[in-house]
Amino acid sequence: GAGVSQTPSNKVTEKGKYVELRCDPISGHTALYWYRQSLGQGPEFLIYFQGTGAADDSGLPNDRFFAVRPEGSVSTLKIQRTERGDSAVYLCASSFGGGSYNEQFFGPGTRLTVL
Protein backbone atom coordinates (compact mmCIF):
# COMPACT_ATOMS: atom_id res chain seq x y z
CA GLY A 1 0.00 0.00 0.00
CA ALA A 2 0.98 3.64 -0.33
CA GLY A 3 3.18 5.12 2.32
CA VAL A 4 3.43 8.68 3.51
CA SER A 5 4.03 11.06 0.63
CA GLN A 6 5.30 14.61 0.71
CA THR A 7 5.35 17.30 -1.91
CA PRO A 8 7.35 18.95 -3.21
CA SER A 9 10.45 16.85 -2.74
CA ASN A 10 12.59 19.95 -3.08
CA LYS A 11 11.73 23.60 -2.64
CA VAL A 12 14.05 26.53 -3.23
CA THR A 13 12.82 29.94 -2.21
CA GLU A 14 14.12 33.38 -1.46
CA LYS A 15 14.41 34.90 1.97
CA GLY A 16 11.15 36.54 2.98
CA LYS A 17 8.91 34.40 0.80
CA TYR A 18 6.01 32.20 1.91
CA VAL A 19 6.09 28.41 1.39
CA GLU A 20 3.68 25.55 1.85
CA LEU A 21 4.73 21.95 2.31
CA ARG A 22 2.22 19.14 1.88
CA CYS A 23 1.94 15.77 3.58
CA ASP A 24 -0.35 12.89 2.58
CA PRO A 25 -0.43 10.38 5.45
CA ILE A 26 -1.19 6.70 5.24
CA SER A 27 -4.92 6.21 4.83
CA GLY A 28 -6.63 5.60 8.15
CA HIS A 29 -3.84 7.05 10.27
CA THR A 30 -5.32 9.51 12.73
CA ALA A 31 -2.05 10.87 14.05
CA LEU A 32 0.22 13.07 11.97
CA TYR A 33 3.54 14.62 12.93
CA TRP A 34 5.84 17.22 11.41
CA TYR A 35 9.57 17.21 12.10
CA ARG A 36 12.50 19.30 10.93
CA GLN A 37 15.87 17.72 10.26
CA SER A 38 18.98 19.79 9.80
CA LEU A 39 22.07 18.38 8.14
CA GLY A 40 23.78 15.80 10.33
CA GLN A 41 21.12 16.00 13.02
CA GLY A 42 18.21 13.88 14.09
CA PRO A 43 14.67 15.09 13.40
CA GLU A 44 13.22 17.68 15.76
CA PHE A 45 9.54 17.64 16.65
CA LEU A 46 7.43 20.52 15.36
CA ILE A 47 3.75 19.66 15.71
CA TYR A 48 1.40 16.73 16.25
CA PHE A 49 -2.17 16.36 14.98
CA GLN A 50 -4.76 13.96 16.29
CA GLY A 51 -7.49 14.09 13.69
CA THR A 52 -8.07 17.68 12.63
CA GLY A 53 -6.76 19.34 15.73
CA ALA A 54 -3.22 20.21 16.71
CA ALA A 55 -2.77 18.27 19.94
CA ASP A 56 0.75 19.53 20.52
CA ASP A 57 2.41 22.43 18.70
CA SER A 58 5.14 23.02 21.26
CA GLY A 59 7.89 22.37 18.72
CA LEU A 60 7.00 25.17 16.34
CA PRO A 61 9.95 27.57 16.59
CA ASN A 62 7.99 30.81 16.23
CA ASP A 63 4.80 32.30 14.85
CA ARG A 64 6.08 32.20 11.28
CA PHE A 65 5.35 28.47 11.32
CA PHE A 66 1.81 27.17 11.11
CA ALA A 67 0.24 23.85 10.14
CA VAL A 68 -3.27 22.73 9.32
CA ARG A 69 -5.08 19.46 8.79
CA PRO A 70 -8.62 20.58 7.98
CA GLU A 71 -10.15 17.20 7.12
CA GLY A 72 -8.05 14.98 9.31
CA SER A 73 -6.00 13.60 6.45
CA VAL A 74 -3.72 15.81 4.35
CA SER A 75 -1.67 18.35 6.27
CA THR A 76 0.06 21.52 5.13
CA LEU A 77 2.98 23.13 6.92
CA LYS A 78 3.13 26.84 6.19
CA ILE A 79 6.16 29.03 6.72
CA GLN A 80 5.88 32.81 6.41
CA ARG A 81 8.71 35.26 5.78
CA THR A 82 11.22 32.46 5.35
CA GLU A 83 14.72 32.89 6.73
CA ARG A 84 17.95 31.18 5.73
CA GLY A 85 17.90 29.33 9.03
CA ASP A 86 14.68 27.61 7.96
CA SER A 87 16.65 25.58 5.42
CA ALA A 88 16.28 21.92 6.38
CA VAL A 89 14.48 18.72 5.46
CA TYR A 90 10.91 18.76 6.71
CA LEU A 91 9.67 15.28 7.52
CA CYS A 92 6.10 14.18 7.98
CA ALA A 93 5.08 11.00 9.78
CA SER A 94 1.77 9.33 10.49
CA SER A 95 0.64 6.60 12.84
CA PHE A 96 -2.52 4.64 13.48
CA GLY A 97 -2.89 6.27 16.87
CA GLY A 98 -1.04 8.81 18.94
CA GLY A 99 0.15 6.45 21.65
CA SER A 100 3.82 5.94 22.27
CA TYR A 101 3.74 2.35 21.02
CA ASN A 102 2.27 3.22 17.64
CA GLU A 103 4.99 3.18 15.01
CA GLN A 104 5.39 6.40 13.13
CA PHE A 105 5.83 5.94 9.40
CA PHE A 106 7.87 8.67 7.78
CA GLY A 107 7.64 10.26 4.39
CA PRO A 108 10.71 11.02 2.28
CA GLY A 109 10.74 14.65 3.36
CA THR A 110 10.78 18.01 1.62
CA ARG A 111 14.17 19.64 1.33
CA LEU A 112 13.68 23.38 1.79
CA THR A 113 16.44 25.75 0.76
CA VAL A 114 16.10 29.43 1.56
CA LEU A 115 18.52 31.58 -0.40
40 lies in the site for another protein, by CB under 8 A: yes
d(CA 36, CA 110): 10
Among 43, 69, 82, 86, binds another protein (CB under 8 A): 43
Of 89 and 114, nearer to another protein (C-beta) is 89
* Positive or negative torsion for Cα 46, 36, 88, 30: negative
- Determine if residue 67 is left, alpha or beta; phi over 0 gives left, psi from -120 to 50 gives alpha, anything else beta: beta
Contact yes or no for 94/105 (Cβ under 8 A): yes
Site string for another protein, 63-102 (x = CB under 8 A): ----------------------------x-x-x--xxxxx
d(CA 60, CA 29): 22
108 lies in the site for another protein, by CB under 8 A: yes
Applying CB under 8 A, the residues found at the interface with another protein are 4, 31, 35, 40-45, 48, 50, 55-56, 91, 93, 95, 98-109
